[in-house]
Structure 1
Amino acid sequence: MSKRSHQVMDAPGPSEPLLREPQKRFYRQRAHANVFVDHELDYPASPDQMDWSLHYPNYFPAKDGQDLKQVEWADVGCGFGGLLMALAPQFPDTVMLGMEIRVSVTQYVADRIAHARQAAIVAPEGAEEKKPGGFQNVSVIRANSMKHMPNFFAKGQLSKIFFLFPDPHFKVRKQKARIVTTALLAEYAFVLRPGGILYTVTDVKDLHEWMDHHLRKHPSFEYIPTEELADDPILLAAKTATEEGRKVERNGGDKWVACFRRLPDPEE
C-alpha cells in the first residue's frame, strides 16, 4: 500500500512552524464520484495487513502492555469531516475513521486533522501548554466503501457506522449506486458487531424511505425508534455537525433520520 495516500501527516512539533488551518476553496472537487469505476485506490488484501500506525501513531502498535485499540466507528462518505471533528474530542478513547472517495476532499480532512492535532499540543502564546493527544483518535482514508469495507475491517469490528447525507442518485437507472442496497447491507452487517448501530440521516425523503425500507427488510438489523435516541449526543452530531447538515438548517429544510441496531447472528 502507498503510505502517502492514506496517511494523516504528522503535525510539526511545538518548535516548528504552525500548520495553517485548511480552507475549502483550495480543495476544489466535483460533488460526486462514480463508485463503479477504478479510482486506483490503495487498500489492504485483508484487515490484518492494514498498517493503522500511519493514522493513529499514539495507539498503534500497542505500547507498555496496553491492549491494542481498534477502529470502532466509521463515517462512510465523510465529506469534509464535520462529524469526525465533532465527535473526536467528545469520545477521546474511541478510534474513529472517515472514508471518502474524492481525492481533494480526503486531503482536506487529512490536513484538517493534522492542524487540529497540532493545535491541541501548541497553545497560544502566553497560555499553558496543552497536553498532547487531541484528535489522535481520528483519521481519514481515501476508499470506496461500496467495494472494500471488509478489506479494512474484520468481522464485528465496528460498533457504529454512519451514512450521513449520501448521494441520493435520483435517477432510477442510478439507484444501484446508492450506498444502501440489499447486497451492501450484508457487508455492513459483517463488519458491524451485534448491538452496534447504523445511523442514516438525509434531507431527501425518497432516499430516507429507500434506506429505511431496505434496512427494515434485512434480517441482520432492527429499527430503533428515534425517540429512544433523543438524548444521544452521537445522533445529535450526526444531524448537525456535517457541512450538509448545517446547510439544510440554514435553508430551513427537513432532515430524515433512521437508525438500526445490528442483531446477533442466528445460532448455527
Structure 2
Amino acid sequence: MPGAPSKRQKREQYKESLGKDDQSGALPKKKFYRQRAHANPFSDHSLTYPKSPSDMDWASYYPAYAAKVDESEATVTQAPKEEDASKQITRPVEIADIGCGYGGLLFALAPKFPDTLLVGMEIRISVCEFVQEKIRALRHQNLATGAYQNVTCLRANTMKFLPNFFAKAQLAKIFLCFPDPHFKARKHKARIVSTTLNSEYAYVLKPGGIVYTITDVEDLHNWMVEHFVAHPSFKRLGEEEQEQDVCVEVMRTETEEGKKVGRNGGQKFVACFRRMEDPPWP
C-alpha cells in the first residue's frame, strides 16, 4: 500500500495543477516554493541568458508592451533591429531588483510606477517560479485595469551576466535588498557589492540613477557603503534626500526579509548612491 506523498511529490502535484489552468487567478501558495535562503553565485546553474541586450526577448515577459510588427514592411515600432522585432518592447526596463526573493518589493513598487517597467532577478529556481506565478495571477485578477503588466521576474545570476541583459545607461534604479552577508572573510568575494560589480552597476545605470541598499547586518552595510563611496561613479545620498524617496520606505517595509526583521525588532541599515555623470574625456 503506497504511503503518503512526500513534500516534493506534493509540490510537483501542486505545480502541475497550476499548469492545467492558465486562466486561474488564484495566487500561488508559498509553501510549495520554499527553497534554501541562498545560492552559490559561482556555481554553474545551467542558466540561459542573451548574448547581448538586443537579443533579450523582453516581449515574452511584458506582452502588453510588445512592439507592433508591420509584416508588410517588415518593420517594428521602436525596435532597434528588424531581425529582433518579435522580441522588442515599446519602452525599456528601467528598474531592477537584484535578488528579488519572493517579489514583495516588486509588487509594492509596480502600482507606484505604473508607466515604468520593473524586473526582478532571482537565482533560485523555485523562488523565481513563485514570483512568475504570482505575476500571472495578479495580471489575470486585474485584466480590466491592466495592473501588474509592468512587472516581471526572470532567473538570472547577475554577478556573472548583468551586462547581457541591460544596455549602457539603461536603468534608473537598482535595488540590493538584504543580500547574503557572506560573513566569513573567504566568502566576501561572493558579496553582491564589490569594486568590480559596482563598475557593472555604473555601466547599466543612467547618470542620476540610484542604487538602493538595505540590510540588517551592520558589517555588510559598512562594507557596501565603503565600496560605493570609494567608487568614482557613485556619491552617497544625504539623509534628508534619502528619507524623502518613496522607494526607501517601500524597501524597508515590503520585502520578505524586511518584514521578518521588523517582526523580530531588528535594525535595518539603508544607504543609497547616485550614479554621477562621467567626466569629459581629456
TM-score by length of 1: 0.88
2:260 aligned with 1:238: no
What residue is the counterpart of 2:224 in the other structure? 211
What is the distance in 2 between the residues matched to 1:164 and 1:184? 16
What residue is the counterpart of 2:200 in the other structure? 187
What residue is the counterpart of 1:152 in the other structure? 165
What is the distance in 2 between the residues matched to 1:83 and 1:95? 14
What is the distance in 2 between the residues matched to 1:110 and 1:226? 35
More helix by share: 2
- Residues 179 and 215 in structure 2, CA contact (< 8 A), matched pair in contact too: yes
Q: Cα gap change, 1:189/1:62 in structure 2, threshold over 3 Å: closer, same or farther?
A: farther
- Residues 165 and 203 in structure 1, CA contact (< 8 A), matched pair in contact too: yes
What residue is the counterpart of 2:26 in the other structure? 20
Find the residue that maps to 1:163 and give its secondary structure.
strand
- Residues 96 and 137 in structure 1, CA contact (< 8 A), matched pair in contact too: yes
What is the distance in 2 between the residues matched to 1:34 and 1:253? 26
What residue is the counterpart of 1:90 in the other structure? 112
Q: Cα gap change, 1:119/1:197 in structure 2, threshold over 3 Å: closer, same or farther?
A: same
- Residues 226 and 257 in structure 1, CA contact (< 8 A), matched pair in contact too: no
Find the residue that maps to 1:89 and give its secondary structure.
coil
Alignment of 1:68-79 (within 5 A): 68-79=90-101
2:54 aligned with 1:48: yes
Q: Deviations over 1:173-215 (max 9, x none)?
A: 1010000000111111000010000000000000000000000
1:114 pairs with one of 136, 156, 169: 136
AA aligned opposite 2:124: R
AA aligned opposite 2:61: H
How big is the shift at 1:23? 1.2
Identity of aligned residues (%): 56
Structure 2: tracts of 5 or more residues without a match: 1-17, 71-75, 79-89
- Residues 119 and 153 in structure 2, CA contact (< 8 A), matched pair in contact too: yes
What is the distance in 1 between the residues matched to 2:37 and 2:150? 27
Query: RCO higher in 1 or 2 (8 Å CA, sep ≥ 6)?
Result: 1
- Residues 121 and 158 in structure 2, CA contact (< 8 A), matched pair in contact too: yes
What is the distance in 1 between the residues matched to 2:128 and 2:160? 17
- Residues 205 and 256 in structure 1, CA contact (< 8 A), matched pair in contact too: yes
2:52 aligned with 1:30: no
Question: What is the root-mean-square deviation of aligned Cα atoms in Å?
Answer: 1.9
Structure 1: tracts of 5 or more residues without a match: 1-10, 122-129
